[in-house]
Chain A
């Protein structure tokens, strides 16, 4: 079987740099990580210096995703030899047990860590993951609440996230979506405002644009809205519709397929009562 370095004509340094890029950007492209990482550690481990340990960790987690218990165990053994008694490595051992569906053993491992160090967030997170995987939603929620009490306080609620991260358009957009789902005219107005805010922060956020269109359209058509509120929202919706059309035009560059979806978008917007200006 051809090696990665042969197939793609890359050096071991480039492979190492690729792994670092994937680590930094939090990619979960496990198949690729296993392909590149396995060859790197088999052929070039001695050249990697101190990087080798974080690479073992990265490859191990990817190996678990790909059901490569053989590779995961190899990585784990190297880490256990080097970092005896480490909680970080113990958590990896727990993850391997989870992958083998040995949940009770994994759960015990995380409880051991927490007994030693009750502030270990990673272990708490894994316990919640196990409960979720077992379908024990009530217990998962209980553990999650404990987790929030200890570390995040209210920080994981969207409102807190938005206050502490005012420039993050994604939190704004998520909040808007929650309000939209809750429904009712007040929530719709709030949702429209937050979609608009998300757009202000990132004018290419398509979900925010569609969200603005939908929320404004619904308010504009609502019998509970005053004449002025209706008029304003019809305007907002029309603006959003024209922006949506424009975005599709820009993306299309006139290819045949996208001409189709451009027409579909126009028709969809028309069918929702609000005419694009």
Chain B
């Protein structure tokens, strides 16, 4: 189904002038923050179509309502390997803004209405582009 989802999302992106620019993953085990083979394969596939693709690993142990430190690490493709970008370099344009928006969404329990591609396959009416949540984010900016 990964093949289908990537192709369908890619087609949608072209229609709407977007590009798949990266892949993020949060591992099952909180203590495991490195990308596994699956993440590297998916990200490599994406990098074929977009050379500056980013592989982002989420560190769930750092996510809280008021996390001052970024909860993500960014990996970049160099010489066929995924290397972690230096943590001292800013990973985001504005982490504190992002963190404020994230807390607001967490408090509102937006995750209850978040749709991923699996949800879409369960019922085609579930919209994986999440228009409502994206509207909320724009309002919070």
Residues of A within 8 A of B (CB): 31, 133, 135, 177, 206-207, 210-211, 214, 247-248, 250-251, 257-258, 260-261, 263-265, 267-268, 271-272
Contact = CB atoms under 8 A, between A and B. Distances in A.
B29 A133 contact: yes
Contacts of B1: 177, 207, 210-211
Contacts of A260: 12, 15-16
Contact of A210 (B4, B11, B109, B131): B4
A135 B27 CA distance: 12
B129 interface: yes
Most buried by A among B7, B123, B124: B124
Contact of B131 (A133, A214, A257): A257
Interface of B: 1, 3-4, 7-8, 11-12, 14-16, 29, 31-32, 109, 121-125, 127, 129, 131
A103 B30 CA distance: 15
Contacts of A263: 15
Q: Sorted from nearest, which 8 A-B pairs have the closest CB atoms?
A: A251-B124, A264-B12, A264-B11, A268-B11, A267-B11, A206-B121, A210-B4, A251-B125
B127 A257 contact: yes
Contact of A268 (B7, B29, B31): B7
Most buried by B among A133, A248, A251, A264: A264
Nearest to B28: A132
A78 B14 CA distance: 58
6 contacts: A177-B1, A206-B124, A251-B125, A258-B125, A265-B8, A267-B15
A210 B122 CA distance: 12
Most buried by A among B8, B14, B31: B8
A247 B15 CA distance: 20
A250 B123 CA distance: 11
Contacts of A210: 1, 4, 121
Contacts of A248: 124
B66 to A, nearest CB: 17
Nearest to A134: B29
A271 B4 CA distance: 12
A4 to B, nearest CB: 15
Contacts of B4: 210, 214
A211 to B, nearest CB: 8
Contacts of B123: 251
Given A210-B4, A247-B124, A257-B129, A135 B29 contact: yes
A264 B124 contact: no
A230 B16 CA distance: 35
Contacts of B3: 214
Contacts of A207: 1, 121
Contacts of A214: 3-4
Nearest to B125: A251
Contacts of A135: 29, 31-32
Contacts of B129: 257, 261
Given A211-B1, A257-B127, A260-B12, 18 more contacts: A31-B109, A133-B29, A135-B29, A135-B31, A135-B32, A206-B121, A206-B124, A210-B1, A210-B121, A214-B3, A251-B123, A251-B124, A257-B131, A261-B12, A261-B129, A265-B8, A268-B8, A271-B7
